[in-house]
A = this chain, B = another copy of it.
Amino acid sequence: MVTTGGAPTVETIAERAGVSIASVSRVLNGHGGRPDTVTRVERAAAELGYVPNAVARSLKGGRSMQLTFAMQDIGNPVYVSMVREIQAITKAHGYRLLLHSTDAVVEDELAVLRSLADRTSDGLVICPLRITPEHLEALRTAAQPVVVIGSLPEDAPVDSVRADSVTGAEKAVRHLVETGRRRIAFVNGPADTVPGHNRQRGYRRALADCGLGLDPSLVATTDFTIEAGVRAVHELLEADPSVDAVFCANDQLALGAAQALHTRGRRIPEDVAVVGMDDTSLARASWPLLTSVDLGSAERGRIAAEMLLARITERDSSSRAPVRSETVTPRLVVRASSGPVRRGAEEETR
């Protein structure tokens, strides 16, 4: 009776193979059956080009086999290695990856969290730029497992992976000091974002550790973009030509800094060293190759994905592991933009 023109279903196969839909389902899922039945069903399925309806399967099974990754901006290369890593792992476990760009709109982030209740996605990895009380509330009441990439309050009931910006900044500044720099400027993004705040703390602590004073006139607070970096460094150098190093809170800012320095005829690294952060593909796109602090975005992605998958498989086993919070240790990747003067080749330190 189901010989209509629509896509074949278990029922179509059952008819053609002369068995019940239950047997069709069992055979197709490898749950045994008489050899005779198995071949008949498999032949019918092959002949009809049957593909199971994943939606119906999701409804029955209660899981959609989809995961969501929510980030600020698809264009930011720092997310590239995260996405790549997360995608590889989730794919290996049979999950599809839904991508969501929130454009740094808080309301949009909350919408993603709330939409977990619609059963479209079995879990979420999210990179919030800011953490508001609404975020915490939404995280607490999320309908599916969530892993946050970024810093959270201690008592937040959510797994998280964070970068250690403080140590990262410290490594960068210490490296600059060790190579003889003394007037180290800092170009930061918005200070009221989580990364902006932490990187500023890191810069200050690093200066203190190295016994250098903090000169507020060497700090610029702007946006996380190339153009902002260009402007900031022009202004810094106008105000104080003695700057001999620029530490940037991300690679985009560092590329902007390099452009401004080139334009002003300052040599990198002979006159001014430049160090970026995140070690994105941009670091290898700049000239000279950019020294950058790898905050482990690939590894953060990997860990986040694994944490999420662990929570999901845990859902069946009724046991419940305590909240995990991991921190990835940064490593400085020294390249030509800051290396000892006159060195060309790339060298990596761990």
Contact status B59-A55, CB under 8 Å:
yes
Residue-by-residue, is A1-37 near B (CB-CB < 8 Å gives 1, otherwise 0)? 0000001000000000000000000000000000000
Contact status B281-A75, CB under 8 Å:
yes
A118 to B289, CA, bound (A): 46
Q: Say how many copies of this protein the assembly contains.
A: 2
Contact status B80-A285, CB under 8 Å:
no
Choose one: B55, B59, B84; the contact of A74 (CB below 8 Å). B84
In the assembled complex, the CB of A75 is this many whole angstroms from the nearest CB of chain B, namely: 5
Given the known interface contacts A54-B120, A118-B54, the answer about A226 and B284 at a Cβ–Cβ threshold of 8 Å is yes
A98 to B16, CA, bound (A): 34
Is the C-beta of A41 less than 8 angstroms from some C-beta in chain B? no
Is the C-beta of A282 less than 8 angstroms from some C-beta in chain B? yes
Which residues from 58 to 110 on chain A have a C-beta closer than 8 Å to any C-beta of chain B? 58-59, 64, 66, 74-75, 77, 80-81, 83-84, 87, 96-101
In the assembled complex, the CB of A268 is this many whole angstroms from the nearest CB of chain B, namely: 10
- Write out the residue numbers on chain B whose beta carbons fall within 8 Å of the beta carbon of A84: 74-75, 101
In the assembled complex, the CB of A181 is this many whole angstroms from the nearest CB of chain B, namely: 21
Is the C-beta of A51 less than 8 angstroms from some C-beta in chain B? yes
Among A52, A58, A97, A289, max chain B CB count under 10 A is at A58
In the assembled complex, the CB of A254 is this many whole angstroms from the nearest CB of chain B, namely: 10
A288 to B114, CA, bound (A): 45
Is the C-beta of A119 less than 8 angstroms from some C-beta in chain B? yes
Q: Which of A127-135, A187-195, A200-208, A255-263 contacts B (4 or more CB under 8 A)?
A: A255-263
- Write out the residue numbers on chain B whose beta carbons fall within 8 Å of the beta carbon of A286: 285-287
Given the known interface contacts A55-B64, A226-B284, A344-B263, the answer about A97 and B96 at a Cβ–Cβ threshold of 8 Å is no
Which residues from 243 to 268 on chain A have a C-beta closer than 8 Å to any C-beta of chain B? 252, 255, 258-259, 262-263
Given the known interface contacts A118-B54, A344-B263, the answer about A74 and B97 at a Cβ–Cβ threshold of 8 Å is no
Contact status B282-A54, CB under 8 Å:
no
Contact status B80-A96, CB under 8 Å:
no
A227 to B83, CA, bound (A): 23
A residues with a Cβ closer than 8 A to B are 7, 49, 51-56, 58-59, 64, 66, 74-75, 77, 80-81, 83-84, 87, 96-101, 114-115, 117-120, 143, 226-227, 252, 255, 258-259, 262-263, 281-282, 284-289, 344
Mind listing 13 A-B residue pairs with CB under 8 Å?
Answer: A7-B117, A51-B115, A54-B118, A55-B55, A55-B119, A66-B98, A74-B84, A87-B99, A87-B101, A96-B120, A227-B284, A262-B287, A282-B285
